[in-house]
């Protein structure tokens, strides 16, 4: 499973190497958090990252401190919310590979969740950042499913993102303006 | 703040009294979890309870065990999802009071969140169970806000739920069929 990035643990007990790794991993998540905050502040959309699911096994009731807990695998995507009455749902991932996005980054039950969202007529997509190319793509879930179902694949080539996906402009505010793509191509 | 109910901690290190309390507190949450599972299994709606937000401060990286963490106050409502393309958002609470629902059960930022959902034209509501009456009401957020804004109140009387809310039938499957109210009165 993928352990969650962007939690406090990475800031507190890490080596220098881990900090670099942690920061690198947090870039897209940070950008999206700032973007979603911008959308909320301007009443453009209401989108949040869901908290990481954690299984709590021991609690000190005097201090309400959790003393033992474990990470759980998420059963849905990380982000959801509303845009003009419509339901939005997406997963966001980074990769350091240049030529393809490895599908091991997405859990099977997350793909199932995305299919269920499509059946309910939600706006569902994947945001992938190719770190070494400095490119961030939005790929609609329908196009993701089309590619996965056709072949027994372990990754999606960068060329498919170029062909079917939409490059998201990275700017100052909003940082990763994915709503622009939704407005223009999301059928809203 | 309200500490989360229905987490594992209540099952593991508790006295008999706490177990009874825990179970009582978990009834509505359990009923809603089962209901949402039923909706998902039948492709009627896709609604999840969000994980409890937890701030992690210490992790053992060898075992990936969290050894110190704290509960955080939720900034949104507990439940959201999609119903036929539309965004659903709600909070669910129980009360042991017979004549009124105390508003201290809902955080201020949760009310702000509900207002923001309404501005985005989402379907937003509150589910309140009056344990001692064995009644579960759905009150649309607009009616909730109307009542709160008119007066400086600390609770909502049971009679207001009778007047403006909708009694949710409790049955075997789905347990708490709130979608029925949404279909009939939610403007979908």
Tell me the pLDDT tens digit for each residue of A13-65.
333 334 344 444 459 999 999 999 999 999 999 999 998 889 999 999 999 99
H or E segment to which residue B91 belongs: strand B86-95
The per-residue pLDDT for B188 is 58
Measure the CA–CA gap between B141 and A68, rounded to whole angstroms. Answer: 37
Locate A46 and state its tokens: 């209401």
Q: Which of B10-19, B34-43, B97-106 has the lowest mean pLDDT?
A: B10-19
CB-based burial of residue B86 (10 Å sphere; 0-12 exposed, 13-18 middle, 19+ buried)? buried
Q: How many CB pairs under 8 A join A and B?
A: 136
Q: CB distance from B22 to chain A under 8 Å?
A: no
pLDDT above 50: residue A130: yes
Measure the CA–CA gap between A178 and A184, rounded to whole angstroms. Answer: 10
Measure the CA–CA gap between A48 and B48, rounded to whole angstroms. Answer: 14
Give yes or no for a contact between A177 and A136, defined as CB atoms under 8 angstroms apart: no
Q: CB distance from B54 to chain A under 8 Å?
A: yes
Strand, helix or coil at A8? coil
Mean pLDDT of chain A: 86
Judged by CB atoms closer than 8 Å, whether chains meet at B48 and A7 is answered as no
Strand, helix or coil at B156? strand
Q: Where are chain A's structural domains?
A: 9-185
Q: CB distance from A188 to chain B under 8 Å?
A: no
Q: Which of B39, B42, B33, B182 is nearest to B122 (CA)?
A: B182
Judged by CB atoms closer than 8 Å, whether chains meet at A8 and B56 is answered as yes
A137-163: pLDDT as tens digits = 999 999 999 999 877 789 999 999 999
Q: CB distance from A60 to chain B under 8 Å?
A: no
Measure the CA–CA gap between A115 and A162, rounded to whole angstroms. Answer: 22
Instruction: Quote the ipTM score.
Output: 0.82
Cα distances from B59 to residues A9, A69, B53, in angstroms, run: 6, 9, 16
CB-based burial of residue B168 (10 Å sphere; 0-12 exposed, 13-18 middle, 19+ buried)? buried
A59: chain B residues, CB-CB within 8 Å: 9, 13
Length of chain A: 188
Residue A174, preceding bond cis, omega within 30 degrees?
yes
Strand, helix or coil at A177? coil
Give yes or no for a contact between B116 and A43, defined as CB atoms under 8 angstroms apart: yes
B150's CB contacts (< 8 A; 6+ apart) are none
pLDDT above 70: residue A79: yes
| pTM summary value | 0.83
Would you identify the CATH topology of the domain B9-185?
Trna Endonuclease; Chain: A, domain 1 (3.40.1350)
Q: For tokens 């708490």, what's the residue?
A: B176
Mean pLDDT of chain B: 86
Give yes or no for a contact between A155 and A48, defined as CB atoms under 8 angstroms apart: no
- Torsion of the alpha carbons at B28, B68, A49 and A26, rounded to the nearest 10: -170
- Torsion of the alpha carbons at B156, B157, B162 and B167, rounded to the nearest 10: 60
H or E segment to which residue B31 belongs: helix B16-41
Q: For tokens 């995507």, what's the residue?
A: A77
The per-residue pLDDT for B186 is 83
Measure the CA–CA gap between B23 and B34, rounded to whole angstroms. Answer: 15
Among B54, B58, B115, which would you mutate to test the A interface (most chain A Cβ atoms within 10 Å of its Cβ)? B54
Cα distances from B118 to residues A33, B25, B42, B80, B113, in angstroms, run: 22, 28, 27, 13, 9
Locate A58 and state its tokens: 């021991």
B52-110: pLDDT as tens digits = 889 999 999 999 999 999 998 888 999 999 999 999 999 999 999 999 999 999 988 99
User: Closest approach of chain B CAs to the CA of A22, in angstroms?
Assistant: 14
């Amino acid at each position: 499973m993928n352990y969650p990035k962007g939690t406090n643990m990475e800031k507190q007990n890490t080596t220098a190497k881990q900090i670099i790794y942690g920061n690198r991993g947090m870039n897209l998540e940070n950008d999206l958090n700032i973007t979603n905050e911008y959308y909320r502040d301007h009443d453009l959309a209401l989108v949040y990252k869901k908290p990481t699911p954690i299984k709590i096994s021991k609690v000190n009731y005097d201090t309400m401190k959790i003393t033992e807990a474990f990470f759980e695998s998420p059963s849905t995507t990380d982000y959801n919310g509303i845009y003009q009455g419509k339901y939005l749902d997406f997963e966001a991932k980074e990769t350091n590979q240049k030529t393809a996005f490895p599908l091991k980054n997405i859990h099977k039950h997350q793909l199932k969740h995305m299919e269920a969202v499509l059946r309910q007529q939600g706006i569902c997509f994947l945001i992938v950042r190719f770190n070494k190319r400095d490119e961030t793509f939005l790929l609609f879930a329908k196009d993701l499913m089309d590619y996965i179902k056709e072949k027994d694949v372990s990754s999606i080539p960068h060329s498919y993102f170029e062909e079917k996906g939409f490059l998201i402009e990275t700017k100052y505010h909003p940082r990763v303006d994915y709503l622009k793509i939704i407005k223009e191509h999301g059928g809203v």
